[in-house]
Chain A
Amino acid sequence: MTESTYRIQGATGEWEVVIGLEVHAQVTSEAKLFSGAATAFGAEPNTQVSLIDAAMPGMLPVPNGECIRQAVRTGLAIDAQINKWSRFDRKNYFYADLPQGYQISQLYHPLVGEGALDISLDEKNPDAQVKRIGIERIHVEQDAGKLMHDQHPTRSYVDLNRSGVALMEIVSKPDMRSPAEAGAYLSKLRTILRYVGSCDGNMDQGSMRADVNVSVRRPGEEFGTRTETKNVNSVRFVMAVVEHEASRQVDVLEAGGKILQETRLYDPDRNETRSMRSKEDAHDYRYFPDPDLLPLELEDAFIEECRQSLPELPDAKRRRYQEDLGLSAYNAATLTADADTARWFEVLLAEGAKAQKKNESEVAKASANWLLSELYGALNRLGKSLDESPVGPADGAELLALVADGTISGTIAKQVFEIMLETGGKPGAIVEEKGLKQTSDTGAIEAAVAKILADNGDKVAQYKAGKEALFGFFVGQTMKAMQGKANPQIVNELVRKALS
């Protein structure tokens, strides 16, 4: 385990920052937590609202089993205690985006208890600096609707599409000590959620957002008073909030002031946080058990079924890529940082092994290198993400197989790949159509070599006088004469033979 050395240098000495995150993650589910209404993002306002979501008189909540299942799977993925007995509570407050006048949440008996996840602080070497971040609990609750203040000069509008959508609130322990750790924690959590499939992790669509708790203290002393910055919606912003809020607190303390326990808001345009409300005017939420719902009691078989349904998780996958596939730590980490990338890679690998009639471990390195350099380079250029890639993993595998069996050279492969990117064509067909097949016809290559040597008598003389660097010149000229299609190994051999 790693101890953080991140310190803020104040005028009066060093300060340590203490960070805890409460992450709200929207549960991936067709329907809301307690109603059958749909949950698709971006629908017309108030088109995904049931009588229950609008809190019509006499309407009752009924738990959606799929949302509970996803939260349990998430808990299992962070090694957490699953509470077989949990209960829903009402959090009472009035607001126009909260039709019931209360949010159904879990205060006293959450569904998921203590767990943890590991973060890596060195990207290049993920096992070098690992820190375990404790997770206090995960509970499920309803999301609120949305107020729209920009639709009318004097009125506010209410959109209830999000009202009642299931959220997991994932509460960390105050275990993070630097902006980098907070960022790494949020990234890792997002990775795990996406692997598990319990949340799409789309922070820009609001389906994952964090409340950032920050305090500062002299290293080794008691925790200071914390502030909570609400609804921060990117990893970068979380890191910025920590950095800004910690130094603001240090300034206040060093000026002899006190930190108020308060709720703050982050303004990304100005990169600053400001006070929203202090503890004094905090709501009294009057939590009590929701009498419309019975306690949630889970059977062992259900929990076991959830466990069985979990995919290979990112840490295990990364280790397997390193140990079984022989990939570098960096490549393994990069490929497993995102569930979609790993899925893409594994299809590429499986297709490659099949095409080359080899074990996956034998084609893994070339596949990883091609994906991370060739494909990523091209996608970067095109401004596309992996799931928008014009070249699919099966086509990529076919291309790599053509290189591996000597049908084309690496150089030609780059040309073929460009054509694939443009046309979406199959590599085999492109090679065939454009006549790009590599030749191993020694007669043709020998003739070409003989012609190059004859045309460059002076250079042959220099070479023989000891200027060995000219060897590459003869090979290059031969390849050029063969229009790049000659097998480079054979060219090498024949040039050497002709010069000896």
Chain B
Amino acid sequence: MTDLTDLTVAEIRDGFRAGDFSAREVASAFNANVAAASALNAFIVETPEKALEAADAADAARTSGDLKPLSGVPIGMKDLFCTQGVQTTAASHMLEGFTPTYESTVSAKLWDAGAGMLGKLNLDQFAMGSSNETSFFGNVVSPWRRNDGGNAPLAPGGSSGGSSAAIAARLCPAATGTDTGGSIRQPAAFTGISGIKPTYGRCSRWGVVAFASSLDQAGPMARTVRDNAILLEAMAGFDPKDATSLDLPVPTWEAGLSSDLKGKKVGIPKEYRPDGLDAEIAAMWDRGIAWLRDAGAQIVDVSLPHTKYALPTYYIIAPAEASSNLARYDGVRYGQRELPEGAGLQDMYAATRAAGFGGEVKRRIMIGTYVLSAGFYDAYYTQAQKVRALIARDFEQAFAQCDLLLTPTAPSAAFALGEEQDDPLAMYLNDVFTVPASLAGLPAMSVPGGLDAQGLPLGLQIIGKPLDEQSVLNAGLAIEERAGFVARPGKWW
């Protein structure tokens, strides 16, 4: 019998419906993998009982003929989504022990669709990081190893590194992620899986611990493009509780999947091929271009002239919003409170925030506070907003000539843990290809494009027009079919 944990979401759904196995068998198999993978540190909280409970409901629903779209499918939940009755920490000490009385809109939609929860996945603290090393609960370790025999533990990417590692290691068939500047796409690329950040506003932000409100967007991560389509259908939809939510019907993305790209034009932005681009990344990109041409697409060269300003723009806007969004963690109402002997209110704030936030979070709060402060606001924040508009206009103009863009997801394969930790700028450079689409609010996806010489996965990024997730998914499917990516990490944990 096949190992149930090797199945995709679609295979689990269909096999369960066909009666090949029970939902309880599936949940139990994943629970066992989760329990045996503590070396990866992918989960902050494991909830095997929740997975079984949903599985039993699915098994009963199958008997009564009352199946839902995700009945029988257990998933992992990034610990940035508030889950009622289950600790939600954003991987911070600040929220250690915080148990919400409410359920985020996206997670509620997934449970309503029949999915079960295997646990809360580790992440960079408050989703700030590209390696998962900023988690208060320790870094996630990628299941992948370089084939150089060095066995250096590798970063799973970030911030959705618990999600990427868990999926690659078959601890869950799919998981939620959130993407502010690349937090779904970069970890997906690092671990040989797929993930899509939909158009800003597709998924409700209600109940998701906020990092940078104008950029934060939830999305799915899974091993196949089809699975991403299935998950995204369940997660997306208008939410009156989020003023930035799009009041539009949710397309039937899975039914619309087609790898035939005839009539589609794919733009190749020249600014994404800077001098010194890693040769293996460049070669993979060229293979991706060939695959899309093979699928019927016409390839055109385009220019996104303001690309080089995207990273500094992002690292002004995101910290500015974060510095304000994280002001609520003050020790007054919930979460950590540090109250030294004789402390007044200001002392309590200082002590609580000093103890509750990690170094990277503090760095971003300070950057954000600085760029918003009197005398600097216009030079930084106002200027960044103007550049953001220019970057969005770049995309608009490019999309006058093409339907999609193809780029690498990240400038390198996964790096070793600790390798870039001491140099924030080097770490921020990981986001150089993912940040522009975030600033423009566009749908963007990473799919595996192959392995590098060290046997590590590399990702290709597809960026689409606003609301055109379907074309993004279809191009992803065309690559997936041609890349034939079947590599998986050898089990060492």
Binding site for B on A (CB under 8 A): 51, 54-63, 90, 92, 94-96, 99-102, 156, 158, 284, 286-288, 291-294
Contacts and interface: CB of A to CB of B under 8 A. Distances in A.
Interface of B: 81-82, 88, 90, 95, 98, 100-102, 104, 205-210, 212-214, 240-244, 320-321, 323-324, 326-328, 330, 332-334, 345-346, 349, 369, 372-374, 377, 381
Contacts of A54: 333
B243 A293 contact: yes
B209 A58 contact: yes
**Residue among A95, A100, A291, A293 facing the most chain B CB atoms (10 A cut-off):** A291
Contact of A291 (B88, B100, B213): B213
A63 B243 contact: yes
Contact of A101 (B213, B320, B327): B327
Contacts of A101: 324, 326-328, 330
A57 B327 contact: no
A294 B246 CA distance: 11
Contact of B241 (A60, A90, A96, A156): A60
> Which 7 A-B pairs have CB atoms at the shortest separation, nearest pair first?
A101-B327, A291-B213, A286-B372, A291-B214, A55-B328, A58-B207, A57-B209
21 contacts: A51-B101, A51-B102, A56-B100, A56-B333, A57-B88, A57-B90, A57-B98, A58-B207, A58-B210, A60-B205, A60-B243, A62-B243, A63-B243, A92-B323, A96-B330, A96-B332, A286-B323, A287-B377, A291-B212, A292-B244, A293-B244
**Residue among A59, A60, A62, A293 facing the most chain B CB atoms (10 A cut-off):** A60
A429 B81 CA distance: 71
B102 A288 contact: no
Contact of B100 (A55, A57, A92, A287): A57
A56 B334 contact: yes
Contacts of A96: 330, 332, 345
Contact of A288 (B81, B206, B324, B346): B324
**Residue among A51, A92, A292 facing the most chain B CB atoms (10 A cut-off):** A292
Contacts of B81: 58
B105 to A, nearest CB: 9
A294 to B, nearest CB: 6
Given A94-B327, A100-B328, A294-B244, A59 B373 contact: no
A58 B104 contact: yes
Contacts of B214: 291
Given A56-B102, A57-B98, A92-B324, A286 B369 contact: yes
Contacts of B206: 58-60
A155 to B, nearest CB: 11
Contacts of A284: 373-374
B321 A291 contact: yes
Contacts of A94: 327, 330, 346, 349
A287 B82 CA distance: 28
Given A57-B88, A291-B212, A286 B324 contact: yes
Contact of A102 (B240, B324, B333, B349): B324
A55 B327 CA distance: 10
Contacts of B377: 286-288
A51 B82 CA distance: 12
A138 B122 CA distance: 46
Contacts of B349: 94
B333 A57 contact: no
Given A60-B206, A100-B328, A92 B372 contact: yes
A57 B82 contact: yes
Contacts of A92: 323-324, 327, 372
Contacts of B373: 284, 286
B291 to A, nearest CB: 37
A448 to B, nearest CB: 80
Given A57-B100, A101-B324, 14 more contacts: A51-B101, A56-B102, A57-B328, A58-B209, A59-B206, A92-B323, A99-B332, A100-B327, A101-B326, A158-B332, A284-B374, A286-B377, A292-B210, A293-B243
A241 to B, nearest CB: 28
A471 to B, nearest CB: 81
**Residue among B210, B242, B323, B332 facing the most chain A CB atoms (10 A cut-off):** B332
A425 to B, nearest CB: 53
Contact of B240 (A62, A95, A287): A62
Contacts of B82: 57-58
A284 B321 CA distance: 16
A59 B210 CA distance: 8
Nearest to B328: A55
Nearest to A147: B345
Contacts of B101: 51
B80 to A, nearest CB: 8
Given A56-B100, A56-B102, A101-B330, A288 B372 contact: yes
Given A56-B102, A57-B100, A90 B207 contact: no
A107 to B, nearest CB: 11
A99 B212 CA distance: 18
Given A99-B333, A102-B327, A292 B98 contact: no
A286 B376 CA distance: 10
Contacts of B102: 51, 56
A288 B324 CA distance: 9
A293 B212 CA distance: 13
B123 to A, nearest CB: 14
A63 B241 CA distance: 10
Nearest to A58: B207
A434 B375 CA distance: 82
Contacts of B210: 57-58, 292
Contacts of B104: 58
A9 B242 CA distance: 59
A57 B326 CA distance: 9
Nearest to A288: B372
Contacts of B90: 57
Contact of B324 (A56, A90, A99, A293): A90
Contacts of A57: 82, 88, 90, 95, 98, 100, 209-210, 328, 334
**Residue among B327, B334, B373 facing the most chain A CB atoms (10 A cut-off):** B327
Contacts of B346: 94
**Residue among A99, A101, A102 facing the most chain B CB atoms (10 A cut-off):** A101
Contacts of A100: 327-328
Contacts of B244: 292-294
A291 B321 CA distance: 7
Given A54-B333, A57-B98, A59-B206, A288 B327 contact: no
